[in-house]
Amino acid sequence: MKPIKRMTRNFKKSEFDCRCGCTMPGDVYENVKKVATQLQVVRDYVGVPVRINSAYRCINHNRSIGSKDTSQHVLGKAVDITIDTFNADQTYKIIINLLNNPVLQGVNFNGIGRYNTFVHLDIRYNEARWDLRS
C-alpha cells in the first residue's frame, strides 16, 4: 500500500494526478503545490470539503477530452472544483470574495471560469474571467 502524500492539511497529491494514471512531471508538481496551497485557504475559509473534479492533465488526456493544448491544466496550474453544500454560482462568489478581501492572503487565482456544475480556477500570470454556463 502506497503512503498518502499530503500536499496540505486537506489535499492529497492523488487528487491532482492526471486521470489517465501517468506520472506527473516535476515542474508540474511544483505548480500543483502552489494550487493546493491556495485551495487550502479556500477550504479553511468555507469549512467544508473542496472537491477536485479535474486538475493536472497530461497532453494526451487533455486532448482525449477535447481540451486545448494551451489549457492551464496541462501545466498543473488549474483545477475544476465544487464545494460541498454550495452550488457553482455560490462557489464562484466565494472565490471572488476571497480575492477581493485584503485581510485574506494566499488566494491568487487569476483565471476563474464559471460553468454549470463547477468552477475552474488557475494561477496563470494574467487575469482571465469567463462564463460558460448554459
CATH number of the domain bearing residue 103: 3.30.1380.10
- Closest by Cα among 112, 73, 116 to 96: 112
How much is the pLDDT for 106? 64
- What tens digit of pLDDT does each residue of 37-79 get? 999 999 999 999 999 999 999 999 999 999 999 999 999 999 9
Residue 36's alpha-carbon distances to 10, 41, 52, 56, 64, in angstroms, are 9, 9, 10, 12, 25
- What tens digit of pLDDT does each residue of 79-113 get? 999 999 999 999 999 999 999 887 776 688 999 99
Q: Is residue 1 part of a domain?
A: no
How much is the pLDDT for 1? 58
Number of structural domains in the chain:
1
pLDDT average, residue stretch 22-28: 96
- Closest by Cα among 27, 114, 115 to 75: 27
Residues forming beta bridges with residue 50, ordered by sequence position: 83
Residue 66's CB is within 10 A of a number of other CB atoms, namely: 6
Domain span at 32: 13-131
Q: Is residue 6 part of a domain?
A: no
Q: Is residue 3 part of a domain?
A: no
Q: Is residue 5 part of a domain?
A: no
